[in-house]
Amino acid sequence: MKYGYARVSTVNQDLKAQIKTLEKEGCQKIYSEKFTGTKADRPKFKELLSILATGDTLVITKLDRFARSTSDAIQTIKELFNKGVKVHVLNMGIVEDTPTGRLIFNIMSSFAEFERDMIVERTQEGKAIAKQREDFREGRPKKYSKKQVEHALKLLETNSYKEVENMTGISKSTLIRAKRKLTAEGDKCE
pTM: 0.61
Provide the pLDDT for residue 86. 92
- 5, 60 in Cβ contact below 8 A? yes
Report the 10 Å Cβ neighbour count for 101: 16
Q: Say whether 9 is catalytic.
A: yes
**Cα–Cα distance between 142 and 111 in angstroms, integer?**
38
**Cα–Cα distance between 179 and 15 in angstroms, integer?**
40
Provide the pLDDT for residue 13. 78
With a pLDDT cut of 90, the percent of the chain lying above it is 33
What confidence tens digit (pLDDT) does each residue in 10-66 have?
A: 766 788 999 999 999 999 999 998 876 555 678 888 999 999 999 999 999 988 787
Q: What is the average per-residue pLDDT within 93-104?
A: 86
- 52, 85 in Cβ contact below 8 A? yes
Sheet holding 86-89, edge to edge: 29-34, 2-8, 57-60, 86-89, 93-95
